Amino acid sequence: MSRNTLATALLLWVIPMLPATAQVNYYLPQVANGQTQGLSLRTTFILFNTSVQNAVVTLSLSNDAGLPWSLNLTGLGNASEFRIDLPSGGSRVLQTDGLGAMISGAARATATTPVSVSAVFAVYDAAGRLTTEAGVASSELLVDFLIPVDTTGSFNTGLALFNPGSEPC
């Protein structure tokens, strides 16, 4: 066996065992869960794999202080980080339980291939009826931006900021 044949055989054996290095990050700057003033707040995460490849999505939660935040997600248990296998064309809907004291924070989803990531922030009354909800799209990291604000009538624009780094802003 020649050196080239041996090297090629070795590469063909090793390359499939190497971890995928291409990671795609998605940031959800507003996550809330818990009870306050007779209301229950829950966040529903929506993941959809539009790729032709299977994806592994790691959902990492942090509280407003930037520390790992353990939450109970339906079907996955209580943790601050969750691994979700998402087949090509597959989707997952995961919701927090709305229990305990109200806490807010943020989420980062890291995927092995591009996926769609969003969340719905919902408020329920004491009887469990939905009173209001807002969609939260994943966003890119930015150092500056401009947003329109509407405060006329009953409108009130909200803004959530998330620093995924370890350095203070």
Return d(Cα 95, Cα 78) in angstroms, integer.
12
Say which residue, 166 or 73, is predicted with more confidence: 73
Three-class SS of residue 14?
helix
Nearest Cα to 94, choosing from 63, 65, 71, 123? 71
Three-class SS of residue 111?
strand
User: In the structure encoding, which two tokens stand for residue 125, read together?
Assistant: 């009354």
Residue-wise pLDDT for 104-143, tens only, equals 999 999 999 999 999 998 999 999 999 999 888 776 666 6
pLDDT value at residue 151: 77
90-107 average pLDDT score:
94
Nearest Cα to 138, choosing from 165, 96, 166, 106? 106
pLDDT value at residue 164: 66
User: In the structure encoding, which two tokens stand for residue 35, read together?
Assistant: 């009870």
Residue-wise pLDDT for 36-54, tens only, equals 999 999 999 999 998 899 9
User: In the structure encoding, which two tokens stand for residue 114, read together?
Assistant: 């591009």
* DSSP 8-state symbol, 37: T
Write out 56-97 in H/E/C secondary structure: EEEEEEEECCCCECCEEECCCEEECEEEEEECCCCEEEEEEC
Instruction: Report the percentage of the chain scoring pLDDT > 90.
Output: 57
Say which residue, 168 or 57, is predicted with more confidence: 57
Give the CATH architecture of domain 21-137.
Sandwich (2.60)
